[in-house]
Amino acid sequence: MPLLWACAGGAALVTLGLKGLLLLRFGAAPGQLDEWGGSVLPLPAFPVPWQPHKVTGAVLLAVFCLLYGALTWLARIPQARSLAARLPVVRSPR
């Protein structure tokens, strides 16, 4: 069980680091720093034409899920191994 928590914590730290890098690259979204607690983890001003908060959230969630799955698979967690075995394998045509 502690190994599972370590995988989750590692994936969360990398995801928060990515959010910090996005924040450094694009700056804070307008109005984020004016809200209560907005200076703690403000939303990056992701340059998309519509609903940047949803796009940022989807990107960060995808990064967390992929990292968590990969870390649990590498840690040989049985549930992750059985889930990975069910994924379809795409083979190149010969």
75 domain residue, yes or no = yes
91 domain residue, yes or no = no
Q: What is the pLDDT of residues 22-40, one digit of tens each?
A: 999 988 888 888 888 888 8
Radius of gyration of the chain (CA): 17
Work out the mean pLDDT of the chain and round it to a whole number. 88
Q: What is the pLDDT of residues 28-86, one digit of tens each?
A: 888 888 888 888 888 888 888 888 889 899 999 999 999 999 999 899 888 888 888 88
80 domain residue, yes or no = yes
93 domain residue, yes or no = no
Q: Which domain holds residue 50?
A: 2-86
65 domain residue, yes or no = yes
31 domain residue, yes or no = yes
The count of structural domains within the chain is 1
pTM of the model: 0.82
Contact yes or no for 29/53 (Cβ under 8 A): yes
Supply the pLDDT for residue 89. Answer: 76
Supply the pLDDT for residue 45. Answer: 86
